[in-house]
């Protein structure tokens, strides 16, 4: 993993804000899913977020790519980073708690490190990373429960779907590095969401019916939060934090999201998680900290004489 930048107080504040925003999306998703279908929620989220980001691109005077190759990359990225994981996580939340879904979502970093290590020469799997990966996967198995790994009821399948979503996120991260590294971040995010919308809007129409705004206020607020705040706004904030803190430090956001989602799920939805879910998150968090490396370096650092 690359050398981490020092995190300023401002960067820490925005990192926590980003985690709070993304932690809140699990609650917003669950509220919206009481009224609209899984794919319709994804369509709302990607379509309106793409519109906002293209508006930002226009305000900044940034150019829109014209290359067919780039737009094909946007399409694939939209499928891997939006359509597949958003749909799987939405469906999973119909059967498992929002807080538990957020715990599985943290597995994204584990899969990203694994796949990047297999694909890129400068992301080799060191002994420390392998140890962290092992702890992370043990955490996932613990959170799911060994008995659920052998059963195929809706709850166990939903947990597997949430983990599969994080694998798609990891593949998207690798795809982005290989095909979109030279693009302006706002343009890349807008293009990706446009590619996702091209796929999911007709899919939602076919499977869930026409998109409509004749919905309860709670659903409209949840859709607004998902699309404008937790997608368009979060992407803008993400790139700010990335510039200030570096990609290594952004790994920490995956540890900060579940506590926000768990608390919101408990307070608003009355959810309770099993002890094995918290134990699994603890092992996953430990695995991510081992991969991150800074804690281990501080523990093994020789004191100054």
What is the pLDDT confidence band of residue 120, given thresholds at 50, 70 and 90?
confident
Domain for residue 293, yes or no? Answer: yes
Axis-axis angle for helices 38-60, 9-32 (nearest 10): 140
Domain for residue 268, yes or no? Answer: yes
Domain extent, residue 262, equals 9-298
DSSP state letters, 199-237: HHHHHHHHHH-S----S-HHHHHHHHIIIIIIIIIHHHH
Q: Which two tokens stand for residue 47?
A: 């379509």
- Dump pLDDT digits (tens) for 8-61: 778 888 888 999 999 999 999 999 999 999 999 999 999 999 999 999 999 999
Query: What is the average per-residue pLDDT within 179-192?
Result: 89
Domain for residue 2, yes or no? Answer: no
Q: Quick check: 193 pLDDT over 90?
A: yes
Domain for residue 3, yes or no? Answer: no
Instruction: Please choose, from the candidates 273, 246, 285, 263, the residue with its C-alpha nearest in 3D space to the C-alpha of residue 20.
Output: 263
Q: How large a percentage of the chain has pLDDT more than 70?
A: 89
Q: Report the domain count for the chain.
A: 1
Domain for residue 233, yes or no? Answer: yes
Domain for residue 305, yes or no? Answer: no
pLDDT of residue 84: 97
- The reported pTM is 0.89
Domain for residue 1, yes or no? Answer: no
Instruction: Please choose, from the candidates 35, 28, 45, 43, the residue with its C-alpha nearest in 3D space to the C-alpha of residue 211.
Output: 43
Distance of alpha carbon 80 from alpha carbon 197, whole angstroms: 12
Query: What is the average per-residue pLDDT within 285-297?
Result: 72
DSSP label at residue 80: I
CA 218, 190, 5, 1 torsion-angle sign: positive
- Dump pLDDT digits (tens) for 75-89: 999 999 999 999 999
Q: CA angle 129-183-164, nearest 5°?
A: 45
pLDDT of residue 228: 97
Domain for residue 57, yes or no? Answer: yes
Distance of alpha carbon 44 from alpha carbon 50, whole angstroms: 10
Distance of alpha carbon 99 from alpha carbon 266, whole angstroms: 8
- Dump pLDDT digits (tens) for 127-173: 888 888 888 888 888 887 766 666 677 888 999 999 999 999 999 98
């Amino acid at each position: 993993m690359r050398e981490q930048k020092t995190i300023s107080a401002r960067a820490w504040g925005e990192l926590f804000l980003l985690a709070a925003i993304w932690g809140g999306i699990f609650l917003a998703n669950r509220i919206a899913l009481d009224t609209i279908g899984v794919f319709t929620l994804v369509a709302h989220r990607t379509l309106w977020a793409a519109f906002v980001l293209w508006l930002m691109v226009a305000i900044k005077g940034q150019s829109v790519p014209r290359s067919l190759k780039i737009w094909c990359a946007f399409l694939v990225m939209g499928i891997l980073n939006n359509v597949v994981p958003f749909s799987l996580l939405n469906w999973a939340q119909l059967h498992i708690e929002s807080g538990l879904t957020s715990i599985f979502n943290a597995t994204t970093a584990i899969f990203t490190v694994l796949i990047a290590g297999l694909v890129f020469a400068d992301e080799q799997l060191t002994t420390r990373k392998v140890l962290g990966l092992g702890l992370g996967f043990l955490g996932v198995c613990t959170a799911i429960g060994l008995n659920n790994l052998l059963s195929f009821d809706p709850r166990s399948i939903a947990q597997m779907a949430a983990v599969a979503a994080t694998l798609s996120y990891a593949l998207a991260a690798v795809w982005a590095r290989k095909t979109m590294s030279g693009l302006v971040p706002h343009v890349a995010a807008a293009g990706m969401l446009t590619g996702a919308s091209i796929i999911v809007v007709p899919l939602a129409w076919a499977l869930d019916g026409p998109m409509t705004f004749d919905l309860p206020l709670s659903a409209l607020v949840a859709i607004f939060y998902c699309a404008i705040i937790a997608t368009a706004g979060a992407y803008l904030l993400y790139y700010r934090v990335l510039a200030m803190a570096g990609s290594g430090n952004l790994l920490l956001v995956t540890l900060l999201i579940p506590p926000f989602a768990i608390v919101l799920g408990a307070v608003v939805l009355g959810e309770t998680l099993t002890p094995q879910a918290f134990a699994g998150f603890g092992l996953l968090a430990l695995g991510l900290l081992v991969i991150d490396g800074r804690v281990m370096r501080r523990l093994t650092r020789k004191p100054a004489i």
